[in-house]
Structure 1
Amino acid sequence: MRILFAGSPGIAVPSLEALSAMELAGEGIALAGILTNADSPKGRSGKPEPTDVSVAASGLDTARAEKGFPPIAQLKFEKLDAAAREAVAALKPDLLISFAYGKIFGPKFLGLFPLGGINIHPSLLPKYRGATPIPAAILNREKETGVSIQKLALEMDAGDILAQEKFPLSGNETTASLSEDAAQRSAELLASLTREFAALPKEALSKSALFQGKSQEGEPSCCSLIRKEDGHIDWKLSALEIDARVRAFTPWPLCFTAQEGQTLYILEGQPFEGPGSGGQTETKAAPGIVLGIDRGKGILVQTGDGVYAVSRLQWQAKKALDWKSFMNGARDFVGTLLG
């Protein structure tokens, strides 16, 4: 079974690595190639750089060559037009596997694959369809989330479920840490499912119950794209809500506030539950007031409901600091108003 893998960011890399490992181990699949976004300008230099998936594919080529396997063919297109379809068709793929590729697949494109396509999505579908399911789960303080593998459908993330794994959330995850966890779980789930696919002849696979999947159950919900300005902290929110936003917007766009005209990034913290936290709230200090410090938790800031303890922060264009180092250079910080 020849597979074209479509993906771009780092969360998709472990799944690509799992498929390559299966091919090298002789488990009945072949990587026909990868489809990834075109190189794009990054950093201050604006120099075009390849996607994480492209870099990973190049890195796999050495190990593949040592075992007599060809390098992974890389396809990069600005849009999936006739030229793109022609290039894909030349690879003669049977199945498309997609994970955070970044473009919509139309009917003509999906028609290139005799077995159609499947998609990996880091949520418990039909919950959080769309581009930002991991931040959405953190923002809504979910107690659990998961990864789903679905058949590709013309409606976004609406395909039948082929495999799904559920796991609990501790309440301390950031988008960065949860993405790493979901990436590994997705790769393991994909490898297990692909082995089952490869064990069947292609004709039998297309008709099997395994490949048909199950309809998504429950009320669908969607998540929206995140903008840089979404990181602005409204201190009138509760400490729990602010904590969720700080975690959800790490590593991007990061949460920020203002202090005497300067931008201040709030990188880490937690709702304050130490001695006197209730008393701090009862003072009815204005949201955003820096109340003081707690030697175990950090800089205490009043919110609309409760106190938030900041443990790591950063002035714009300066390096990130733990709260103690920060306070050494900001001795008049207590009593100021943020926001």
Structure 2
Amino acid sequence: MRILFAGTPEIGVPSLNALVNEFDVCGVLTNPDRPQGRKKTLFPSPIKARAEELELNIFQPDRLESELYSKIKELKPDLLVCIAYGKIFKKEFLDIFPLGGVNIHPSLLPIYRGPSPLSAAILNGDKVSGISIQRLAAKMDSGNILLQEKFELSEKETTGSLTERVATMAAPYIVKVVKDIESDSVTEWEQNDDDATFCKLIMKDDGIIDWSMDSNQLLNMIRAYNPWPMAQTEFEGKGLNIIEAEASDIVGDGEPGRVLEYSKANGFLVKTGDGTIYITRLQLQSKKALDYKSFNNGVKNFVNTLLG
């Protein structure tokens, strides 16, 4: 079985490793190197970095065009395996692969079709999530399901921690599916489009906090936007990232966003739309992230201020 692997972020690295151990991964398709930091230094995607260590053929096109098609055809791949690649595959490209293409999607499809299913599950306070492996189809995330596994959420996950969990879980699942395809023993079922829900591409401004939201919404938002774009507010004209927070049963008095008090045991108590939450880890613009005790030692005028 010859596989072309397509992916870009860290979530795909365990699956790439697992496939290399079991099959002939004849090439890797990933996004071009991107500039990072103030100096705009070019950095490879995590998938490219791992593919270089594995000495695999690497393709980094800006666009999927006929020149790339010819190069891929020369490799004679049987199957395309994709996870979080970030581009849409046209039928002409999928036709290169005799066994078609499959995609690893971290949701219980048809729930959360789209680019941010993990963040969406946390934002909505879901208690269950899952992993789906589906056929690649013309319409995004609509292909037949080949495997689907559920798991419970603790309501403590961040998108970062959930991404790590899903990355590890997905690796043996994709190996199983590819082996089933190879032996012509795979089973599949159609998605019900009537049950489909969708999630959008997350933008930087999505992290801006509206303190009039209720406490549970705010806590979910803080978890969902960690590590990016972070839940963001303002303190004395400077950006302030709220990295971690905890629930509070105190109602509190004051406008939403008011820092009501400091507790050595719990953190900074901040008023919300329906009560309060405790902020326990935060990061002032251009500064290091700090736990609430260290922040209180360095910023003496935080209590009683109005955030945002």
In the TM superposition, 1:246-285 aligns within 5 A as: 246-273=222-249, 277-278=250-251, 280=252, 283=253, 285=254
Q: CA deviation at 1:43?
A: 1.8
C-alpha deviations, 1:238-280, integer Å up to 9, x for none? Answer: 111111111100110011111221211111111213xxx14x2
User: Are positions 1:85 and 2:85 aligned together?
Assistant: no
Pairing of 1:150-189 with structure 2 (within 5 A): 150-189=134-173
Q: Deviations over 1:138-179 (max 9, x none)?
A: 000000100000000000000000001100000000000000
Opposite residue 118 of structure 1, the aligned amino acid is V
Give the Cα separation in 2 of the matches to 1:315 and 1:108.
49
In 1: Cα distance, 2:99 partner to 2:2 partner: 10
User: CA offsets, 1:40-70, max 9 Å, x none?
Assistant: 21222212221110101122x2xxxxxxxxx
Tell me how far apart the structure 1 counterparts of residues 197 and 169 of structure 2 sit (CA, whole Å).
22
Q: Which residue of the partner structure matches residue 68 of structure 1?
A: none
**Corresponding position: 1:224 with 2:210:** no
Contact 1:271/1:306 (<8 A) preserved: no
Across the aligned residues of Structure 1 and Structure 2, the Cα RMSD in angstroms comes to: 1.2
Q: Does the residue aligned with 2:195 lie in a helix, a strand or coil?
A: coil
Listed as ranges, the gaps of 5+ residues in structure 2 are: none
- Is structure 2 residue 114 aligned with structure 1 residue 130? yes
Cα distance, 1:75 vs. partner?
1.2
The structure with the largest alpha-carbon Rg is 1
* d(CA) in 1 for partners of 2:189, 2:102: 13
Choose the corresponding residue for 1:332, options 281, 301, 308. Answer: 301
Name the residue aligned to 1:66: none
The alignment status of 1:37 with 2:3, answered yes or no, reads no
Which of 54, 64, 70 is matched with 2:48 structurally?
A: 54
Give the C-alpha shift of residue 331 in structure 1: 2.0
Query: How much identity, in percent, do the aligned residues show?
Result: 46
Q: Could you state the TM-score of these two structures normalised by the residue count of structure 2?
A: 0.97
What one-letter code is carried by the residue in structure 1 that aligns with 2:26?
Answer: A
In 1, Cα distance between the equivalents of 2:238 and 2:39?
Answer: 25
Matching residue of 1:4? 4
- 1:70-103 per-residue CA deviation (whole Å, 9 max, x = no partner) reads x311111111100010111011001000001111
Q: Secondary structure at the match of 1:4?
A: strand
- The AA in structure 2 aligned to 1:54 is K
Which structure 2 residues correspond to residues 302-321 of structure 1 after superposition, within 5 A?
302-321=271-290
CA distance in 2, matches of 1:227, 1:161: 29
Give the 3-state SS of the residue equivalent to 2:167 in structure 1: helix
Q: Distance in 2 between matches of 1:253 and 1:101?
A: 20
Following TM superposition, by how much is the alpha carbon of 1:107 offset from its aligned partner in structure 2, in angstroms? 0.6
SS of aligned partner of 2:16: helix
How far did residue 332 of structure 1 move? 2.2
Contact 1:255 1:267 (8 Å CA) reproduced? yes
User: Do 1:314 and 1:320's aligned partners in 2 also have CA atoms closer than 8 Å?
Assistant: yes
Letter in 2 for 1:55: A
Find the counterpart in structure 1 of residue 97 from structure 2.
113
Q: Tell me, yes or no, if the aligned pair for 1:272 and 1:297 is still in contact at 8 Å.
A: no
2:270 corresponds in structure 1 to 301
- Provide the secondary structure at the position in 2 that maps to 1:32: strand
Does structure 2 retain, via aligned residues, the 8 Å contact 1:36–1:53?
yes
Q: CA deviation at 1:328?
A: 1.1
Deviations 1:198-227 (A, max 9, x none): 3x2xxxx2xx5x25x101146100101111
Whole-Å separation in 1 of the counterparts to 2:111 and 2:123:
14
Counterpart CA distance in 1 for 2:74 and 2:279 is 55
Which whole-Å CA distance do the structure 2 matches of 1:242 and 1:332 have between them?
23
CA apart distance, 1:295:
2.4
* Offset of residue 299 of structure 1: 0.5
Secondary structure of 1:130's aligned partner: coil
